[in-house]
Structure 1
Amino acid sequence: MDLAGRTALITGGGGGIGAGIAEAFVDKGMKVVITDINLDYACAEAERLGHGVLALQHDVTSLDSWAEVKRAALDAFGPVEVLCNNAGVAQAFKPLDQVAPDEFDRLMAINVRGVYNGVITFAPDMRERGHGHIVNTSSMNGLLAHGTFAAYSASKFAVAGLSEALRVELAPFGVGVSILYPGLTRSRMSEGQQPGLDAKTAEAIRSRMMQPVWLGRAVARAVETDQLHIITHPGHKAQVEARFQGILDAHGAPAEPGFVGGSIKID
């Protein structure tokens, strides 16, 4: 897809990865709408980027809010052709049985239901037009589950699975789907995730954070080339290989002796 002149909407665009995607899209000559639960953050990024970027307040858990930003984007720039479901929240590191039910529900509502809401708001129009692209932000935690981060990992594994299935569903209609798996990236979320760290440790962590615009440029390339998986932090490759090898190694004899059944294609 040639990005110049097309309209993109990016949730969670008031900083971090969302702002990096917005910057990369502006550099490609796109018309950009950035949304955020915090309108001040979105407006600050719009002012920084210039080029007529539109900033909107947006609660991704609310379908009414999705309808409002869709109308505003259409009025300002025309139909949204690239949707980036990027808004997300993290959690403090702690065992799953110490994650309160309301904290777990909030993670799922924003990180998973928020993506679903974006898809059902924009995918039908893209399917009807016969073109478009959706980018869903997962995480390296959507490929590698970590202890004391189970709820967040669950939400990001869900985004990855949802997105792979969605790509199969939309491909016949000329609509692409990509999954972004970011590692440690400079953002309010990553910098504020572990309050109380000593200054030396906090600075060591910050020094390992990738600048968001580089993730944005990787996303732009993926949309241009219809790339499914976007890996921006390849340093985790050995761990991913080990995980998948373990899954492959578990494919031994069937549980029922002599069983020869297989998958059934459902049209």
Structure 2
Amino acid sequence: MQVAGKTAFITGGGGGIGGGIAEALVEKGARVVLADVDLDHAQAKAAELGDAALALTLDVTSLESWAAAKGATEARFGPVDILCNNAGISTPRMDLEEVPPELFARVLAINVTGVQNGIASFAGEMKARGSGHIVNTSSMNGLNPFGTFGAYSASKFAVLGLSDALRQECAPHGVGVSTLFPGLTKSRMSLDPKDGPAADPETLAALLPRMMDPVWSGRAVVRAIEEGQAYIVTHPDYRPIFAARCEEILAAFGDPAQPGYGTGASATMA
């Protein structure tokens, strides 16, 4: 699917990876809607991108907010061809038993239910038209879980699962689905010591040189949309960790737990 002339709706579009996706799409001739809970950030990014961009307020946890944003988008640009479910939050580093229940619920509400709300708002019409593409932002934490980020990892693994299921549902209708797995990227989330991988300014300073400019993640997303790629990995240096985890899981596929299971033989107990 070529993105030129298409309309893209991007959540968390006011900066970071969402802003990078918007910038990359505009480079290729698309129109973009920057939907963000912080309208000031969205408007600032839209001003950089010019008439091809529209900034809107969106609370991804609210279907009413989605409906309002969808209506405003269609009034300006027409139907949405590309949906990028990118908005998300992280947590400070802490062991799982220390995560307050309300924080765990908020992470799931934004990172998982927010994605589902976007799918519910746009996927049906894409399938009916027989065209479109949906990009859901997971994380390298959605492939490689890390201690002290359990709540965030849980939410990003959920995004992978629902994306894979959605791809099966959408494929017969000509609608593509991609899952984005970014690593360290310059964004409000990663640059804020209170809410990201950097626990303190010293750690942040050490991580900063490893953080990718978000426009490059955005360009990877555009390639995936145009080439129909299912998975987008922007930071291949995590591959050895992922490979080791996959090997450990595959090694668990040994003999069936029940003797004779799957062979038609009756199970016998010693």
Check whether TM > 0.5: yes
TM-superposed CA distance for 1:205, in Å, is 1.1
Find 2:251's aligned residue among 249, 252, 257. Answer: 249
TM-superposed CA distance for 1:31, in Å, is 0.9
Give the whole-Å Cα distance in 2 for the aligned partners of 1:2 and 1:248: 37
Say if 1:145 and 1:198 are closer, same or farther in 2 by CA, change over 3 A: closer
RMSD between aligned residues: 1.4
TM-superposed CA distance for 1:193, in Å, is 3.7
Q: Which residue of 2 aligns with 1:259?
A: 261
Contact 1:90–1:193, Cα closer than 8 Å, also in 2: no
Q: Which residue of 1 aligns with 2:204?
A: 202
Alignment of 1:12-27 (within 5 A): 12-27=12-27
Contact 2:61–2:109, Cα closer than 8 Å, also in 1: yes
Q: Which residue of 1 aligns with 2:229?
A: 227
Aligned residues: 262
Q: Which runs of 4+ in 1 moved over 6 A?
A: none
Q: Which residue of 1 aligns with 2:111?
A: 111
Amino acid at match of 1:233: H
Unpaired runs of 5+ in structure 1?
263-267
TM-superposed CA distance for 1:197, in Å, is 5.8
Alignment of 1:93-172 (within 5 A): 93-172=93-172
Say if 1:171 and 1:261 are closer, same or farther in 2 by CA, change over 3 A: farther
Give the TM-score normalised by the residue count of structure 1: 0.95
Give the whole-Å Cα distance in 2 for the aligned partners of 1:193 and 1:217: 27
Q: Which residue of 2 aligns with 1:265?
A: none
Give the whole-Å Cα distance in 2 for the aligned partners of 1:73 and 1:198: 39
Contact 2:30–2:52, Cα closer than 8 Å, also in 1: no
Amino acid at match of 2:206: A
TM-superposed CA distance for 1:200, in Å, is 4.4
Residues 1:213 and 2:215 aligned together: yes
Amino acid at match of 1:118: G
TM-superposed CA distance for 1:87, in Å, is 0.2
TM-superposed CA distance for 1:2, in Å, is 1.1
Give the whole-Å Cα distance in 1 for the aligned partners of 2:254 and 2:125: 44
Give the whole-Å Cα distance in 2 for the aligned partners of 1:165 and 1:202: 36
Give the whole-Å Cα distance in 1 for the aligned partners of 2:211 and 2:200: 17
TM-superposed CA distance for 1:202, in Å, is 2.4
